[in-house]
Chain A
Amino acid sequence: MDYFLVSFFLIQYIRTSLQTATQHPEWDKRLVIGRYTSIALVAVFYATETPHWFNWIWNAFLVLIIVVIFTDDFFKTLRATAQTILPFIGLCMIRDATRALSPDFYKKYDSGFDIAVAFAFVLCFFIWFYARKQMKVLQKEREDRLREEQASKAQKESLEYLVSERTYELTLQKEELQKTIEELKSTQNQLIQSEKMASLGELTAGIAHEIQNPLNFVNNFSEVSVELCQELEEEIDKSALGDSDKEYIKEIIADLSQNQQKITHHGKRADSIVKGMLQHSRASSGQKEPVEINSLADEYMRLAYHGLRAKDKEFNAALVSDFDPTIGKINVLPQDLGRVFLNLFTNAFYAVADKKRKLIEEGNLGEYRPEVKISTKKFANKLYIRVTDNGTGMPEHVKAKIFQPFFTTKPTGQGTGLGLSMSYDIITNGHGGVLDVESVPGERTEFRITIPINETQEA
């Protein structure tokens, strides 16, 4: 009976502690077989009227269980508990062996053997009971730890979520800052550029003023000298000099008069340059008024075109316009903006004419068709104007200087180098806009004007 209890409860203990029913079905099957074996054994034991030799079957059964437990790593955690049945098996086997080998000795001490086996049997259950208790404590601890782990895991997850959230925010901020830095950089460049232009403009105005006074004297004195020459001629006619003398003197006077006229002519030329410089520096001469941008642009395009045609009958170019009809009237300085248009178109026509001339010189005009294009667009409270030509274009080092006063690529006498500098001033300072340029050498040039539209002032 004691064998049955030991084996039955040991198997049961293994099943509950390792939870084989749910986690290891293949072992559970074997353990259930073991359990039924022990039930069968006890049944056979009582059915065969408790023979002594049957104890050996029990012993073998228990040893088999122990061997399985100690050889398979699956039962590693149970070995300490399983050990407790070793004294029981040992004592049983000694008792049975003694009974078989020397029945006399056994008979003499059979109660002693029984007490020892009973003691080992009780010990088994006592230890099991204790182990169970211990295990329950352990189990509880393990559960506590598991719960703590879960709590910390949850905390970790929430922290990780927070971190990733912060990281995302920081990335956004970083991107925003980078964008701001880029904007600041471009604003700085624009500021430097407009500062440079402003100081150059002031310098130009200063020079112009300083030159204007002496230049006025040159012009006035040369003019008055021409008048004096005429008077002198009249006086000579009245004198009693011989005709040949008179002719000679008149010749000299004519030369003198011609020289004076040359002085006047070149003085006037210098004067118009100085006027241009002064115009350049004059802080927005007119008042802003609502103007049809499209018709203004068109008017000046034709003006520039016919201006060039008047000088060069051979010249022709396609005028392409792409106007945004929704623009309507916008508050600008009409005269100033007109000057900008005139400058841009004159340059564009000059560029296409220049390219055509060069191609003819090289002898491969080919399919070249000079074209100057104006396009306007109103978008998001801004007015965009583009003047594009398929002319000579310009290299980078020229592009860097075109807005500087007195910079020109035209031959002497054909350009003052003030047109684009003035245009830049009118767009940036007069209208708070942007004038920039893009060019592919030998291919094309595009001037881009961007003017902010003030809705409240819009007509």
Chain B
Amino acid sequence: MKILVVDDEEDVKSLFEQKFRKEIRSGQFQFSFSFSGEEALSYLQAHPSEVVMILSDINMPGMSGIELLRKIRTDHPAAPPQVMMITAYGDSANHDQAMQLGADDFLTKPVNFVELKEKLLSIL
């Protein structure tokens, strides 16, 4: 399963790679990383229909996670990937907006990796 992680913090990459070391080695998960909304969109363009799952931060400089979600839902209606939003602000406004725009799930930081792993495995 190919997962695209979108976050403006570059350390997210090594964190995910270490947290999901076993799954990556066994080939269960395949991670790609984008550090902005714009980058994520161009990645999706370059690899159409490959990405099954997107994990996106909401608060990012430039294009926000919400904006990215809206773009994905309008540009890729044919092969819709699952989208999980992650935010440091667990307020209901963000949550409702994300859900309205078609997010599949909503996580708050700090991310509980045990929970996340379970969710990803169940989707798989």
Chain A residues near B113 (CB, 8 Å)?
A: 220, 223
Contact across chains for B18 and A216 when beta carbons are under 8 A apart? no
Chain B residues near A213 (CB, 8 Å)?
A: 9, 88, 109
A223 to chain B, nearest CB (A): 8
Chain A residues near B110 (CB, 8 Å)?
A: 212, 216, 219-220, 271
User: How far is A400 from B48 in the complex, measured between Cα atoms in Å?
Assistant: 63
Chain B residues near A271 (CB, 8 Å)?
A: 110
Contact across chains for B15 and A217 when beta carbons are under 8 A apart? yes
User: How far is A223 from B19 in the complex, measured between Cα atoms in Å?
Assistant: 9
Contacts A213-B109, A216-B109; A221 near B88 (Cβ below 8 A): no
User: How far is A209 from B109 in the complex, measured between Cα atoms in Å?
Assistant: 11
B26 to chain A, nearest CB (A): 14
B13 to chain A, nearest CB (A): 12
Contact across chains for B15 and A212 when beta carbons are under 8 A apart? no
B67 to chain A, nearest CB (A): 20
Interface members, chain A 208-228 (any B CB < 8 Å): 209, 212-213, 216-217, 219-221, 223-224, 228
- Interface size of B by CB at 8 A reads 11
The yes or no answer to B11 lying at the interface (CB within 8 A) is yes
Q: Mark B84-124, 1 if CB is under 8 A from A, else 0.
A: 00001000000000000000000001110100000000000
B9 to chain A, nearest CB (A): 7
B19 to chain A, nearest CB (A): 5
Contact across chains for B19 and A209 when beta carbons are under 8 A apart? no
Contacts A212-B109, A213-B109, A271-B110; A220 near B19 (Cβ below 8 A): yes
B68 to chain A, nearest CB (A): 19
Closest to B91 in A: A282
Chain B residues near A212 (CB, 8 Å)?
A: 88, 109-110
Interface members, chain A 347-390 (any B CB < 8 Å): none
User: How far is A231 from B22 in the complex, measured between Cα atoms in Å?
Assistant: 10
Q: Mark B4-20, 1 if CB is under 8 A from A, else 0.
A: 00000101000100110
Chain B residues near A224 (CB, 8 Å)?
A: 15, 18-19
Q: Mark B56-90, 1 if CB is under 8 A from A, else 0.
A: 00000000000000000000000000000000100
User: How far is A437 from B54 in the complex, measured between Cα atoms in Å?
Assistant: 53
User: How far is A221 from B110 in the complex, measured between Cα atoms in Å?
Assistant: 12
User: How far is A224 from B95 in the complex, measured between Cα atoms in Å?
Assistant: 28
Contact across chains for B11 and A217 when beta carbons are under 8 A apart? yes
User: How far is A280 from B111 in the complex, measured between Cα atoms in Å?
Assistant: 22
Contact across chains for A220 and B88 when beta carbons are under 8 A apart? no
User: How far is A220 from B109 in the complex, measured between Cα atoms in Å?
Assistant: 11
A55 to chain B, nearest CB (A): 134
User: How far is A228 from B19 in the complex, measured between Cα atoms in Å?
Assistant: 9
Contacts A209-B88, A217-B9; A228 near B18 (Cβ below 8 A): yes
User: How far is A223 from B113 in the complex, measured between Cα atoms in Å?
Assistant: 10
Chain A residues near B11 (CB, 8 Å)?
A: 217, 221
Most chain A CB inside 10 Å of its own CB: which residue of B9, B88, B110: B110
Contacts A212-B88, A271-B110; A220 near B9 (Cβ below 8 A): no
User: How far is A231 from B110 in the complex, measured between Cα atoms in Å?
Assistant: 24
Q: Taking A221-B18, A224-B15 as given, write out 16 further A-B residue pairs in contact, using a Cβ cutoff of 8 Å, ordered by the A residue number.
A: A209-B88, A212-B109, A213-B109, A216-B109, A217-B11, A219-B110, A220-B15, A220-B110, A220-B111, A220-B113, A221-B11, A221-B15, A224-B18, A228-B21, A231-B21, A271-B110
What are the 8 closest A-B residue pairs judged by CB atoms, nearest first? A216-B110, A224-B18, A220-B15, A224-B19, A217-B11, A216-B109, A212-B88, A219-B110
Return 30 A-B CB contacts under 8 Å, by A number: A209-B88, A212-B88, A212-B109, A212-B110, A213-B9, A213-B88, A213-B109, A216-B109, A216-B110, A216-B111, A217-B9, A217-B11, A217-B15, A219-B110, A220-B15, A220-B19, A220-B110, A220-B111, A220-B113, A221-B11, A221-B15, A221-B18, A223-B113, A224-B15, A224-B18, A224-B19, A228-B18, A228-B21, A231-B21, A271-B110
